[in-house]
Amino acid sequence: MLGFQEHDIPVLTVVRLLTPLGKPAPNAPKYFAAVEIIACMENTDWLGKATRAISTHWLRKNTKSSS
């Protein structure tokens, strides 16, 4: 719904752009409120921040692996 890949969702959770419901353990499945996802989907500022966070994450990860 947000336009990101499934493997990008943990990145958004780590940078606190998405907040899982409850307080799940680090290795537990994370669930998100549909109303929050819809609100994020309609917010272009949030989408910009999320895109930057994901781009930065993969840039750092790819830079480290190629060094």
pLDDT digits (tens, 9 = 90+) for 8-62: 999 999 999 999 999 999 899 999 999 999 999 999 999 999 999 999 999 998 8
SS3 state at 42: helix
pLDDT one-digit tens code per residue, 53-67: 999 999 998 888 776
* Cα separation values, 52 from 16, 24, 63, Å: 13, 26, 16
